[in-house]
Amino acid sequence: MSKNLTTRAEDYSKWYNELVVKADLAENSAVRGCMVIKPYGYAIWEKMQAELDRMFKETGHQNAYFPLFVPKSLFEAEEKNAEGFAKECAVVTHYRLQTDPDNEGKLRVDPNAKLEEELVVRPTSEAIIWNTYKGWIQSYRDLPILVNQWANVVRWEMRTRLFLRTAEFLWQEGHTAHATKEEAIAETVQMNEVYAQFAENFMAIPVVQGVKTESERFAGAEDTYCIEALMQDGKALQAGTSHFLGQNFAEAFDVKFTNKEGKQDYVWATSWGVSTRLMGALIMTHSDDKGLVLPPNLAPYKVVIVPIYKNEEQFEAIKKVADQITSDLRELNISVKFDGRDTLRPGAKFAQHELQGVPLRIAIGPKDLENETVELARRDTFTKEIVALDRINVVVKDLLEEIQNSLFNKALDFRNSHITEVDTFDEFKAVLESKGGFISAHWDGTIETEQKIKDLTKATIRCIPLENKKEEGKCVFTGNLSTQRVLFAKAY
């Protein structure tokens, strides 16, 4: 197959880029900054979607679909809210291509087909959605609106990396409308909790729940909740955000309702989202120098069976056993793939399945047929064992659970051992340089200090953890009084 991956120790960034391509997850396309998500990568994303969608529906949300385009004038209405990212985006100015009269065989934009008003390809949908909600909401009876959208969005990023930062990406964006501030805040908190549960139980990624500082907040939000994860290279990755938008968007788009007391008031809003960026977090949390490592709960197939044979007769006998295992495991809701390709040797298949992170591999050879056994190999630990055929169901089921838990615990140990409390700025810089990770330090609460620390170290405040204990202290930079520690890190 392919040559070995660059190792993480050699070049973490290169390791990541190679892994994404070689494991058939995604690749760059002919369009600058836009990726092709390949079938194997998309199958993982589909698993994520299915779980998240189930969780959204269980918490009372419905899906809907809003237009890809946002008229420029709607951005003007929210500009004071969205100043942060209304700028770098794809703008549609024309609606026709035609053959170029001056250049045979070429196409050009028809100069007579200019739009009266330019359309922006949505970088996010607050504007178009709140402009729509205006028509849906008159009274408190119309509230709450609990809507989610699965969609593609475009932000004209200059430096892109597969999954982590792409011009076009896939995401879900929840947009809810409420009659009271309390209800909107409860929704914001709930959805952040949903993200945390998803990250931990399905992605096997431990996360810190927290709120952003003012300067890291979503433009237009009164509070941004987030889940922050830690990658193996000691950099943090923001894996999901949930925004309490106050009445900002309702005011910008004039969305009022009559409350129970018969008075007019602006509607309270939230929005929350996760994106294909999660794929990057998943890859960087668990994978190793042999390739992808997948938590079983998100693996496109959890088990692969590789036959080892010298002739057709052996192949058929092995296939018969494999079919039985497959159907038995499927009854337990465990997906299995039989790799019967006659174009690759077993060793090459092993390498490919390792590269693609299939959690368990079963190999069956002629001796196994005789002994009524199989060889079972774990992707995460590379340990192998010989298992009797009549025990395979139980063993596989237990092992998959163990792998899921083990990946989470390994990541949790790593994360916990990379949260360092520091009390001086020298220590701060030394830890950041030597081991990275989260640095828990006192901060005086000012934007100025935050900015200076960022300028000097590239570390930002990732969040103020929700489970913070209050603690008197002095700001690590200015020495001014502080009441709690916050988490700093360099971040993706």
38 binds its own copies (CB under 8 A): yes
Check binding of 21 to its own copies (CB under 8 A): no
Work out whether 173 is an interface residue with its own copies (CB under 8 A): no
CB of 17 to its own copies, least distance (A): 16
Under the binding rule (CB under 8 A), the answer on residue 120 touching its own copies is yes
CA dist., res. 438 & res. 491, Å (int):
10
Q: What is the distance between the alpha carbons of residues 292 and 379, in angstroms, rounded to a whole number?
A: 9
**34-49 as b/e: b if 16+ CB within 10 A:** ebebeebbbebbebbe
Binding status of residue 170 toward its own copies by CB under 8 A: yes
Using the minimum distance from each CB to its own copies, give the nearer residue, 254 or 385.
Answer: 254
Backbone angles phi, psi at 422, to 5 degrees: -130, 155
Residue numbers 58-77 binding its own copies by CB under 8 A: 62-72, 74-76
The reply on whether position 144 binds its own copies by CB under 8 A is no
Interface characters, 263-292, with its own copies (x: CB under 8 A) = ------------------------------
The region of 26-34, 196-204, 301-309, 402-410 touching its own copies under the rule CB under 8 A is: 26-34
CB of 27 to its own copies, least distance (A): 8
Closest CA to 265 of 184, 188, 182, 180: 180
131 binds its own copies (CB under 8 A): yes
Helix axes 392-416, 277-286, angle to 10 degrees: 100
Residues in contact with 443: Cβ distance below 8 Å, sequence separation at least 6, in sequence order = 449, 450, 461, 475, 476, 477, 482, 485, 486, 488
Cα atoms found within 13 Å of the Cα of residue 150, Cβ hemisphere only: 12
Q: Which is nearer to its own copies, 81 or 373 (CB)?
A: 81
Stretch binding its own copies (CB under 8 A), from 92-100, 401-409, 423-431, 460-468: 92-100
- Note whether 290 and 15 are within 8 A (CB): no
Q: How far is CA 90 from CA 84, 156, 359, 382, in A?
A: 15, 7, 40, 46
In the bound state with its own copies, the residue whose beta carbon lies nearer, of 90 and 412, is: 90
Closest CA to 280 of 93, 17, 10, 8: 17
Stretch that binds its own copies, among 131-139, 186-194, 205-213, 483-491 (CB under 8 A): 131-139
Closest to its own copies by CB, 65 or 382: 65
- Our finding on whether 259 is near its own copies (CB under 8 A) is no
Regarding 37 and contact with its own copies (CB under 8 A), the answer is: yes
* Binder of its own copies out of 20, 35, 267, 431 (CB under 8 A): 35
Q: Is the CB of 87 or the CB of 391 nearer to its own copies?
A: 87
Report cis status (omega within 30 of 0) of the bond before 465.
Answer: no
x/- map, 207-246, its own copies, by CB under 8 A: ----------------------------------------
Q: Which is nearer to its own copies, 25 or 207 (CB)?
A: 25
Shortest distance in whole angstroms from residue 330 CB to its own copies: 14
The answer to whether 30 contacts its own copies (rule: CB under 8 A) is yes
Closest to 121 measured CA to CA, from 166, 156, 173, 77: 156
- Segment 95 to 114, residues that bind its own copies, using CB under 8 A: 95-99, 105-107, 109
Question: What CA–CA distance (Å, rounded) separates 183 from 244?
Answer: 10
Q: What distance in Å separates the CA atoms of residue 192 and residue 241, rounded to the nearest whole number? A: 7
Q: Tell which positions 330-389 bind its own copies, by CB under 8 A.
A: 343
Name the minimum Å distance from CB 136 to its own copies.
Answer: 8
CB nearer to its own copies: give 24 or 423. 24
CA dist 485 → 188, 402, 466 (Å): 23, 35, 11
Rounded Cα gap, residues 170 and 155, in angstroms = 11
Please tell me what DSSP assigns to residue 460: E
Does 118 help bind its own copies (rule: CB under 8 A)?
yes
Q: Give residue 401's identity as a one-letter amino acid code.
A: E
Residues 257/137, Cβ–Cβ less than 8 Å = yes
Residue 327 CB coordination number (10 Å): 10
- DSSP structure class, residue 358: -
Helix, strand or coil for residue 357? coil
Positions in 40-59 near its own copies (CB under 8 A)? 42-43, 45-46
Cα 263–268–273 angle (5° rounding)? 165
Q: Which of 10, 11, 36, 345 binds its own copies (CB under 8 A)?
A: 36
Residue with tokens 């990770």: 437
Q: Is 311 one of the binding residues for its own copies (CB under 8 A)?
A: no
Sites of contact with its own copies (CB under 8 A): 27, 29-31, 34-39, 42-43, 45-46, 62-72, 74-76, 79, 86-99, 105-107, 109, 118-121, 128, 131-132, 135, 141, 147, 151-152, 154, 156, 168, 170, 343
